[in-house]
Homo-oligomer: A and B are copies of this chain.
Amino acid sequence: MPENKTGRRDLKKQRTRGALTVAALRLVDERGLDQVTVDEIAEAAGVSPRTFFNYFATKCEALVGDLFVDDSAGRERFLAVERSVPTLDALLIALTPTFDAIQAERDFWLLRLRVLGDNPSLLTDLLGRSAATEQTLAAAIAERLGIAADSAYALHTAAAVEAAIRVALMRWAAGDGTRPLSAFLHEAFTLLTTGLAHPYPCGSLAFDLDFPVADKEEA
């Protein structure tokens, strides 16, 4: 993403990477994860098998992709949100453009998420990548609050947010597409904000009732 190099060389690289990802997703979607070899993916993308490994360390990496790893723009936005805004609200605000981008490429992401859902062993990789994101996230949260990166609050918030986003994405992908991703995300963040202690399974009430938000935030 941070690549603005518009030279012919880098453009070609981006194309190749994209071709590999799409080829991998399509083949695995059709046949299942272990009915597809790297050789076939490479052939479908029009490069040599060896080249595949110049782009991705493993077969799974091409399927799972970067997700949010290295969303440095998101990090900047997060740190730019006014300090008085609570952490979770700030995160939701900062990540909205990222999620909008996902919503915009809905078909691609639904394919990707369907493949992930159909091949549980890929969840392994998805979550593994999340672990990397989690570190970054914890560091950002800590930096914004001026607390230690390994403090309980930073670590737990990062992990919880990561998990919440993942669940929201999967629910979005499992739905019929009429409900936008942002709705799932808002629901997820609301649950985290108000605490998971009280389920309101009947969808009724209370989420916003008492919570003393302190600031009619927006930004």
Contacts and interface: CB of A to CB of B under 8 A. Distances in A.
B167 A201 contact: no
B153 A200 contact: yes
Contact of A159 (B121, B150, B166, B193): B166
Total copies of this chain within the assembly: 2
A105 to B, nearest CB: 24
Nearest to A152: B187
Interface in A135-183: 145-147, 150-153, 155-157, 159-164, 166-167, 170-171, 174
Contacts of A51: none
A125 B89 CA distance: 31
Given A89-B197, A153-B201, A192-B195, 15 more contacts: A86-B197, A88-B196, A88-B197, A123-B131, A124-B124, A124-B131, A127-B130, A128-B128, A153-B196, A156-B188, A156-B196, A160-B163, A193-B195, A193-B197, A195-B195
Q: Which 5 pairs, one residue from A and one from B, show the smallest C-beta to C-beta distance?
A: A124-B128, A127-B127, A195-B195, A159-B163, A147-B201
